[in-house]
Structure 1
Amino acid sequence: MKRLLSSFAALALVAQPLAAVAQVLTAQEEKAIDEAVTKTLARTGVPSVSIAVVRGGELVMTRAWGRASDTLPVARPDIPYQIASNSKQFLAALLLLLADEGKLSLDDTVAKWLPEVSGADHMSVRQLLSHTSGLQDYWPQDYAFAAMATPTTPEAIIDRWAKKPLDYDPGSRWQYSNTGYVVAGRIAEKAGGAPLAQLLDERLFHPLGIHPLFIDDTNGPAFPKGYARAALGPVRQVTPPARGWLYAAGELSMTAADLARWDIARLDRRILPARDWAEQETPVRLSDGTSNGYGLGVSVRQVDGRKTIDHGGESIGFLSQNTVWPDDRAALVVLTNAGFSDATSVLTEAIGAVILPRAVQANTGESARTDDARAELAALAAGRFNPAHFTDDARSYFTPQTLTDYRRSLTALGACTGFAPKNKPRLRGGFVNRNFTVTCGKRSLTVITYAERGDKGRWEQLLVSPD
């Protein structure tokens, strides 16, 4: 991937003026944020957190806590973290600008640009951006599956996943699809006549004075390392995917301050025409007239009576959350170098409680196959692993070291009770996602699963993290 910035030193330059506006937060508020982050890092084992706070339409705080890597023992706010799927809103914005220039229409069929894609003649660019295209997600797992050890290209991802039969008719359902964004990224390059990195830099990043990098260029010693846990085992540094796997599905690394400056542009309706911001923030409706609140690269919903525009991001060893409250002219960026725990959502809620009148609340739901998931977790805790119950990718994930970490860490907690669903089943990447809450001894845990369809579908993922 092409680096978006030729000199890493430029990242430090944008962080220098921030202290001048830090007084907007009171000493008590800064203390409350510090306590929330410190407590969350201690509870979860997350190595580091970098945040940016926008209040009154201005950047009022950037700060980092913890350890960015073994070679960067002190996390700093001027270091870029991988934001993964938070990148999707930038691609959607770029395509809106290309549409303004008459270089394409969001209602173009995909066949106009990439006729080889399955269902391309009755699938629109807009449906790619709103996750309603029907294209199967190539990466629903929360770990790097075996193929990701080998470099890839957008064309290879399209050949393997975007030419499969559609999961549903375009526009009839919503299903998160990284594949759709890879296809959209290639369309942007064809319509814009330049590589994706150049298009993003010229039309979005340079005008804003922000300096993101491509993820593949931030896996060296000068950048944070990603970390993971197998169940409640030791926190270990992860091996990132080979080059090319994120591309337009989640290609960017940036500082929390840079992402916050993008949020301020959203609040001020700058860089894009106001109509484009509004279009991005308009939930797309399915053919039956319903909507889950997803627009073009962002979710739009009411949380605790407050309009919220947000998105999360996950790459191997990194989680991020970006939240904008437009009516309050406030925003919050939370970046971590851990692919486990609930730190991003907990800190969004806790810091939201500081900078807004009321905290942000999370939604939960119900799911199925609870008994099967409970039995599988009990087997892993007892040191038993039945390969027949798991897919090839899951079998490669559960190495002897991973199984040992599961057994030792779960056994140490004591008996597990109270296994309960957290969400309704949802289809993604050809698998069914179900999440559960379980209490083991005095610890509350989250179990995140993906399984093949059907009552006895094999498990593609069964990950455990602190709740």
Structure 2
Amino acid sequence: MTFRPDTARLAETAQQLMEKYHLPGLALGAVIAGEPAWQEAWGWADIAAKVPLTPGHRQRIASISKTTLGLNIMALADEGHLSLDSRIGDLLPDITFHGPADDLALRHLLTHTGGIGEAPNAGDLGKVFDKLFGESDPDTPLAELYADGITIEVEPGTKWAYANHGYLLLGEIISRLEGVPLPESLQRRVFEPLGMRDTDLNDVPHPDLSRGYSQADTPADRRLLDLLGIQLESDEPEDEHNLPGKYVRTWGNGGAGGVQSTVPDMLTYASALLHGAGGIVRPETFAAMTSPHWQPDQRLNGWGLSFAVARPYGHRRFGHGGAAFGGWNSTLAVFPDLDAALVIHVNLWRNDYDSAIVPPLTQAFLGERDPEPPDVPIDQRIIDTAPGVYELASNTPLTDFRTRFTPGRVLVSAANGGLMIRGQRGPWSEGAPLTAADPAQPDLLLVKNGAATERVVVLFDGAEVSGLRFQALFDLHRNPAAQPWP
């Protein structure tokens, strides 16, 4: 039986989100039965100029770009130019690596397990995002941009940490093997064969690009924009909420997130992915790309070769999200078992986009509701031994940057016969209840994160709780000596 989403419910949910979060514009698209089938848009592409947003407006899809690099480099692997085990030091001999880099291989960059962190080196931590969205000449050799080298903070293959700089290295490898700039290779290998006529990696303002926005409705919002260094065209909102963002190109070769596209082109892309990537790579290669290569617990999310993998509401999903400073958030969610896909474009950067905007639209697309937790108690061993402060176990600031940023440490405390979790920052900073997920799996708990319900796996040392493993692929460990923060 063909899966057919309720597009009326999807449109209704979109309009509710537009009003609730004061979104400047929102565009959606759906692939049904393997083919592009529906698209619609609401709001403005440019608030001040009163230009209505359409599905055909360009969007900075940011990190979704990484999936196109993954296809390009795996096509090169299919042709025998390299393999998943190819050493990065051999492919990029003029890049200096510090730390245990001898075994750093292509598979580690594709799966974010190379030991590379949010910044190239510890000295860059004070200006992390200058080397993601920062002015740099795209013609500058990568070895010059990384003149101080790149730190491999942990042994490759032992830890997952999202690494934009790993994809800049992948882009450089592609360019060197192809003998052309990365944008030209992606155009020839991916965009042109799939018929994506309004997609490129030129990473420059375009007449059809929607205007990007940020919001600072509260002092906390403003502090976050300042902390992240998000640049604005004006401190005055163009309506009562949305501040116009400044276009700042992605650093280096754009491999970490420089692609612009449209909803129609992304539906074409999603349809091709549902058909084995349209012949760009071998069928068995694409199957490997969309299968988990890093997934410490099958009940949590995982990572393939450039694709994130998960099973929301029991449906297999692969895809990626994208957040571009200056004002764009995007989602590509492909559901192969349903022969369907959902594309979301919002011309607004929100830190809580993945927990506030994506879950209601995904539920509407799949015809699901956020599940009520089962009315069962948490295992008594957990209630007795879980309370305490949980923190990162090692001093690895580069690969732990995102976790240190949010949630930081968490505090688990007993409350009303159950447990509460409170984070230093982020969605649990005001506290949230932990609930049992399944009486048959006592080590699996649930916690709300905005509109999403996330899974948390309890880790044990003998009979006592020793740590928590979160859906976002990080672990925090209980420190009996640590004191709660104010």
Band the TM-score falls in, shorter-chain normalisation: 0.5 to 0.7
* Structure 2 counterpart of 1:319, one-letter code: N
Structure 2: distance between partners of 1:246 and 1:39: 38
Deviations 1:319-363 (A, max 9, x none): 111111110111100011111164565554334434434357799
Say if 1:221 and 1:280 are closer, same or farther in 2 by CA, change over 3 A. Answer: same
In the alignment, structure 1 residue 101 sits paired with structure 2 residue 87: no
Contact 2:171 2:182 in 1 (8 A): yes
Cα distance, 1:163 vs structure 2: 1.7
In the alignment, structure 1 residue 48 sits paired with structure 2 residue 25: yes
Deviations 1:261-299 (A, max 9, x none): 211112111223211211111222489999951011111
Cα distance, 1:100 vs structure 2: 1.0
In the alignment, structure 1 residue 312 sits paired with structure 2 residue 321: yes
User: Counterpart of 2:112?
Assistant: 131
Structure 2: distance between partners of 1:161 and 1:51: 42
User: Counterpart of 1:298?
Assistant: 307
In the alignment, structure 1 residue 32 sits paired with structure 2 residue 41: no
User: Counterpart of 2:480?
Assistant: none
Match among 330, 352, 356 for residue 366 of structure 2: 356
Q: Report the more deviating stretch, 90-99 or 158-167.
A: 158-167
Contact 1:421 1:437 in 2 (8 A): yes
User: Counterpart of 1:77?
Assistant: 55
Unaligned runs of 5+ in 2: 223-240, 374-385, 392-419, 432-448, 452-475, 477-486
* Structure 1 counterpart of 2:108, one-letter code: Q
Match among 198, 213, 217 for residue 200 of structure 2: 213
Contact 2:250 2:256 in 1 (8 A): no
Say if 1:199 and 1:369 are closer, same or farther in 2 by CA, change over 3 A. Answer: farther
Match among 112, 115, 135 for residue 150 of structure 1: 135
What is the Cα-based RMSD across aligned positions, in Å? 4.0
Say if 1:356 and 1:145 are closer, same or farther in 2 by CA, change over 3 A. Answer: closer
Equivalent residue of 1:321, what SS?
strand
Cα distance, 1:177 vs structure 2: 0.2
Unaligned runs of 5+ in 1: 1-23, 372-418, 423-432, 447-452, 454-467
User: Counterpart of 1:436?
Assistant: 427
Contact 2:168 2:254 in 1 (8 A): yes
Structure 2: distance between partners of 1:258 and 1:336: 16
* Structure 1 counterpart of 2:171, one-letter code: G
Deviations 1:366-405 (A, max 9, x none): 999899xxxxxxxxxxxxxxxxxxxxxxxxxxxxxxxxxx
Cα distance, 1:310 vs structure 2: 2.5
User: Counterpart of 1:249?
Assistant: 256
* Structure 1 counterpart of 2:302, one-letter code: G
Q: Report the more deviating stretch, 270-279 or 146-155.
A: 146-155
Say if 1:43 and 1:125 are closer, same or farther in 2 by CA, change over 3 A. Answer: same
Cα distance, 1:64 vs structure 2: 1.3
Structure 2: distance between partners of 1:87 and 1:193: 20
Equivalent residue of 2:344, what SS?
strand
Structure 2: distance between partners of 1:331 and 1:35: 18
Structure ranking higher in helix proportion: 1
Structure 2: distance between partners of 1:92 and 1:184: 8
Structure 2 counterparts to residues 309-458 of structure 1, below 5 A = 309-316=318-325, 317-340=327-350, 342-343=352-353, 346-359=356-369, 421=422, 435-437=426-428
* Structure 2 counterpart of 1:80, one-letter code: R
* Structure 2 counterpart of 1:41, one-letter code: M
User: Counterpart of 1:462?
Assistant: none
User: Counterpart of 1:10?
Assistant: none
Say if 1:157 and 1:333 are closer, same or farther in 2 by CA, change over 3 A. Answer: farther
Equivalent residue of 1:67, what SS?
strand
Structure 1: distance between partners of 2:54 and 2:188: 27
Contact 1:104 1:191 in 2 (8 A): no
Structure 2: distance between partners of 1:346 and 1:241: 25
Segments ≥4 residues shifted beyond 6 Å: 286-291, 360-363, 366-371
* Structure 2 counterpart of 1:60, one-letter code: A
Say if 1:44 and 1:112 are closer, same or farther in 2 by CA, change over 3 A. Answer: same
Contact 1:323 1:332 in 2 (8 A): yes
User: Counterpart of 2:161?
Assistant: 175
Structure 2: distance between partners of 1:126 and 1:343: 29
Say if 1:80 and 1:144 are closer, same or farther in 2 by CA, change over 3 A. Answer: farther
TM-score, structure 1 as length reference: 0.67
In the alignment, structure 1 residue 66 sits paired with structure 2 residue 43: yes
Contact 2:78 2:282 in 1 (8 A): no
User: Counterpart of 2:434?
Assistant: none
Deviations 1:308-327 (A, max 9, x none): 11211111111111111110
TM-score, structure 2 as length reference: 0.65
* Number of residue pairs matched by the alignment: 362
